[in-house]
Amino acid sequence: MEECSARYRLIVELYKKGLPVREIAAKTGASLSTIYQALRRCGEEPSRRRVYYRGRLSEEELMEIKKLYTSGESIYSIARRLGRPPSTIYYALKRMGLA
């Protein structure tokens, strides 16, 4: 692995704090490709796309979806939390009569 420059270390630090890649690019003045290059060179594995689990929702997931939605959480935040597409959450809520 190559030695990371100060600029690359800053990019990795911001990425580890959870900042979106576009926001890191705006803060550092770097292009998106430079951000991804910096992350790879400094040992981080950047994710360009969200990968979803395929398959049926388990009973535990359905109960979690119901609990989170009735407590006021959005469909998108539930989807992120469970690693599922928002449409899957929406259709589950629709089948339960909640959406």
Three-point CA angle 74, 75, 78, nearest 5°: 90
Please answer whether residues 57 and 87 qualify as being in contact, where contact means their C-beta atoms are separated by less than 8 angstroms.
no
pLDDT tier for residue 99 given thresholds of 50, 70 and 90: confident
This prediction's pTM: 0.50
Greater confidence (45 vs 60) lies with: 60
DSSP for the chain, written as a single string: -PPPPHHHHHHHHHHHTT--HHHHHHHHT--HHHHHHHHHHTT----SSPPPPPSPPPHHHHHHHHHHHHTT--HHHHHHHHT--HHHHHHHHHHTT--
Q: Is the pLDDT of residue 36 over 80?
A: yes
Average pLDDT of the chain to the nearest whole number: 87
